[in-house]
Amino acid sequence: MRLTQMPSEFQKALPVLEKIKEAGFEAYFVGGSVRDALLNRPIHDVDIATSSYPEETKQIFSRTVDIGIEHGTVLVLEGEEEYEVTTFRTEDVYVDYRRPSAVSFVRSLEEDLKRRDFTVNAFALDETGEIVDLFDGLKDLENQILRAVGVASERFNEDALRIMRGFRFQASLGFELETETFKAMKVLTPLLEKISIERTFVEFDKLLLAPYWRVGLSSMIESQAYDYLPDMAGSQDKLQSLFDLEDNFTFESSEQAWAALLWALEVEDAQQFLKHWKTSRQFAKQVQDLLTILSLREGGALSKRDCYQFNLDSLLQAENLRKAQGKEVNPQAITETYESLTFHDKKEMQINGDILIKEYGYQPGPELGDVLDEIEYAIVDGVLENDRQAIHDYLRGRK
Ligand code: ATP
Ligand code: MG
């Protein structure tokens, strides 16, 4: 099959293919971008596969960056764009289910396509727009089916992350899992325990953010994969409760998705949970903020002091999630309260510890901190002006 119209992203990248071909090697567009082009979806990350070995690729282009030579990947800078150019490879023996024990570079496109996960991810596209489709991926694309390349159980045994990827692509494409493929996934979910958490997080996160997250999540639940994910064993019913969110709701950020997940799981110690998922501290803090806001909101409207602790974006994301939970919401009131605050950062306070010590005779120590907190909250509550004279009068009245 030939693409009648090459999307502009590929046209822009054609010189890269052509230069590799001029040097006597094969080169193709591969992976998700070809799938997305065939589905008329927006394309991101145009990936290129080639028969040239990394050192050979580097000879062809004047501007390259070594980003993963051991995996065969060279970043090629072409005009304003950058492309990952990866040598055809096989990943033959997986000893620990985590990563290939050896990556072998090969000169054959077929070998490279064979090691890819799903038939719809295993296309190659040449410079003329011709689609190489060795595994009937076009038919699967037409029928909206996700099918493992080759023998499903072998492929998931080689790399169990593909199980999570299967759920994730279901969530992003809305496709069905082919029967044998799903059967193998269900049998092999215990292998997920052996996959690095960081890789699993990426796939689960993409699943939650995808438009058909309900589809991906319901397969994940059906397969009982959760039993092999950090702190999620036995959580079928709680996970199911995510389906109570408003129809057609999609998560607007990772933080919001994970806050909804932790809320559904009734996680008591979010920091611990997210530590087990090895997320960044900043991410954990943002999810924690959302959970705290959700809890505060259960008690009614947010006070000025409540709003002061968070940024407006978090406050509104939590409110949106509440809306999806079918609860009463008032984003406008929250915005107004937030905007009515005298300041959002105590650095803007017209007093500090130094002034208290030098001008008011306070000693460094806990009492100083208490007085500063008291002033800060009095200003936040709107009972004291953020003004030197007003603070002065307040301090005198306090003594
Ligand atoms: P997205 O559009 O979300 O980036 P993608 O299909 O490009 O989806 P990537 O994770 O970027 O997915 O991987 C690029 C390609 O590499 C895939 O399309 C697939 O062919 C191959 N691939 C990636 N990870 C694996 C894996 N674990 N096992 C087999 N093939 C994989
Ligand atoms: Mg990609």
Which tens digits make up the pLDDT trace of 116-131? 999 999 999 999 999 9
Domain 1-140 is found in CATH 3.40.30.10: no
- The strand pairing partners of 68, in sequence order, are 73
CB-CB neighbours of 163 under 10 Å = 31
Query: Which protein residue has the closest C-alpha to ligand 1 atom 8?
Result: 32
Distance CA 282, CA 78 (A): 34
Q: For 3-29, b where at least 16 C-beta lie within 10 A, e where not — what string?
A: beebbebbebbeebbebbbeeebbbbb
What's the gap between Cα 40 and its chain centre? 23
The domain ranges of the chain are 1-140, 144-229, 234-341, 346-397
**Cα 44 to ligand 2 centre (Å):** 7
Give the nearest ligand 1 atom to 44 CA: 2
Query: Which protein residue has the closest C-alpha to ligand 1 atom 14?
Result: 31
Ligand in closest contact with the CA of 200: 1
Q: Nearest 5°: phi and psi at 65?
A: -130, 135
Residue 79 — very low, low, confident or very high, per pLDDT cuts 50/70/90? confident
Average pLDDT over residues 331-347: 95
Cβ of 50 closer than 6 Å to ligand 1, yes or no, is no
Distance CA 25, CA 56 (A): 9
Q: Nearest 5°: phi and psi at 264?
A: -65, -40
The mean pLDDT value of the chain amounts to: 95
Query: Which protein residue has the closest C-alpha to ligand 1 atom 2?
Result: 32
Give the nearest ligand 1 atom to 115 CA: 29
Q: Nearest 5°: phi and psi at 215?
A: -65, -50
CATH code of domain 346-397: 1.10.246.80
Give the nearest ligand 1 atom to 149 CA: 29
What's the gap between Cα 162 and its chain centre? 16
pTM (2 d.p.)? 0.93
Residue 98 — very low, low, confident or very high, per pLDDT cuts 50/70/90? low
**Cα 31 to ligand 1 centre (Å):** 6
383: exposed, middle or buried (Cβ count in 10 Å: 0-12, 13-18, 19+): exposed
Give the nearest ligand 1 atom to 165 CA: 27
What's the gap between Cα 344 and its chain centre? 29
For tokens 């959970």, what's the residue? 291
Q: Is the pLDDT of residue 97 over 80?
A: no
Binding positions are: 32, 35, 45, 47, 116, 159, 162, 165, 168
Tell me: the pLDDT tens digits for 285-307?
Answer: 999 999 999 999 999 999 999 99
Q: Is the pLDDT of residue 214 over 90?
A: yes
Give the nearest ligand 1 atom to 116 CA: 30
> In this prediction, what percent of the chain has a pLDDT beyond 70?
97
Tell me: the pLDDT tens digits for 13-46?
Answer: 999 999 999 999 999 999 999 999 999 999 989 9
Ligand in closest contact with the CA of 32: 1
Binding positions for CTP are: 32, 35, 116, 159, 162, 165, 168
- Whole-number pLDDT of residue 140: 98
Q: Which of 43, 115, 118, 121 for mutating ligand 1's site (highest number of atoms within 8 Å of CB)?
A: 121
Query: Which protein residue has the closest C-alpha to ligand 1 atom 7?
Result: 32
For tokens 């803007």, what's the residue? 348
Average pLDDT over residues 349-361: 92
Which range is least confidently modeled, 95-104, 150-159, 248-257?
A: 95-104
β 124-125/131-132 pair status? antiparallel
Domain 144-229 is found in CATH 3.40.50.720: no
Same fold, 144-229 and 234-341: no
Cβ of 168 closer than 6 Å to ligand 1, yes or no, is no
Binding positions for Mg(2+) are: 45, 47
Cβ of 121 closer than 6 Å to ligand 1, yes or no, is yes
Cβ of 32 closer than 6 Å to ligand 1, yes or no, is yes
Average pLDDT over residues 307-322: 98
Query: Which protein residue has the closest C-alpha to ligand 1 atom 3?
Result: 32
- Whole-number pLDDT of residue 397: 85
- Whole-number pLDDT of residue 59: 97
> In this prediction, what percent of the chain has a pLDDT beyond 90?
91
Ligand in closest contact with the CA of 168: 1
Query: Which protein residue has the closest C-alpha to ligand 1 atom 18?
Result: 31
Return the ∠ at Cα 160 (arms to 154 and 165), rounded to 5°.
Answer: 110
Residue 48 — very low, low, confident or very high, per pLDDT cuts 50/70/90? very high
Give the nearest ligand 1 atom to 35 CA: 6
Residue 94 — very low, low, confident or very high, per pLDDT cuts 50/70/90? low
Binding positions for ATP are: 32, 35, 116, 159, 162, 165, 168
Residue 95 — very low, low, confident or very high, per pLDDT cuts 50/70/90? low
Domain 234-341 is found in CATH 1.10.357.10: no
Average pLDDT over residues 330-336: 98
Q: Nearest 5°: phi and psi at 145?
A: -125, 135
Determine the residue type at 219: S
Q: Nearest 5°: phi and psi at 228?
A: -115, 15
40 half-sphere exposure, CB direction, 13 A CA radius: 3
- The strand pairing partners of 83, in sequence order, are 76
Q: Which of 117, 164, 200 for mutating ligand 1's site (highest number of atoms within 8 Å of CB)?
A: 117
